Amino acid sequence: MTDEGKMIAHFIYKSFSSAEVERLFDLYEITDSIISSVVNVEAAIVNTLHRRSQHFVLFDHNTPVPIINTYESPQTLGQDRLAAAVGAKTLCPNENLLIIDVGSAITYDFVTEKGEYFGGNIAPGLKMRFTILQRMTKKLPLVETDENELIPLFGKNTRDAIAAGVIRGVAYEVKGYMRTLSEKVPHFKTFLTGGNAPYILRNVRSSKTEKRELLFEKNLVLIGLNNILVYNKTALQKE
């Protein structure tokens, strides 16, 4: 939830229902709302949001956004990716932007300084890489890492070798995208977001060879969704 663009509260739910929507509206002075999901949303939730809101947006590929979407199949573009792109552009409106979301999957997206969403790539996330190593081999264990753990350059046991291989592999992947993009775009900023972003950020910034500006914003998707909500409400008021 935001107040004039400033986030005042956020929550994480294992499950969400129309009853919870009612509770939030009773607790806070909510006037407008937007919902975005990569899975189907229950009709009861949508109906409750629509009923309780002065202005409501059900975010999908038909929703107007304040950037130009050049993706060839907008209906297949993850709404979280597009929202993160809008969020980054909200924070740095006149910059070329590389947006890296390190979550269940890792996405790499590029937005030009003119506000054109250029496209992006999708790669396996950290947990997925750890799981694949364990499932696709006979002897390698499933490794879990702590966000504050110091990852060695080379592991001296199997567990540390897997941890270093996965974590440093993603860090080098991030730096590789930044280095390659710098050969094509003279100046850009890089945003890291997503649940595992702080972990990767520490490993990327540890290298003195990477001097380009690297920004971390954990709420990038939420900032983008709020901007999309405001954009649509403003457009409606002008009609």
Please provide the size of the chain in residues: 239
Torsion angle of C-alpha atoms 55, 56, 62, 64, degrees rounded to 10: 40
Helix (H) or strand (E) holding 83: helix 79-91
CA quadruple 92, 98, 103, 104: dihedral, nearest 10:
140
Instruction: Please identify which of the residues 3, 26, 32, 80 carries the catalytic annotation.
Output: 80
Residue 146 designated active-site: no
Contact 71, 119 (CB under 8 A): yes
What is the number of H-type helices and E-type strands within the chain? 7, 10
State the catalytic residues. Answer: 80
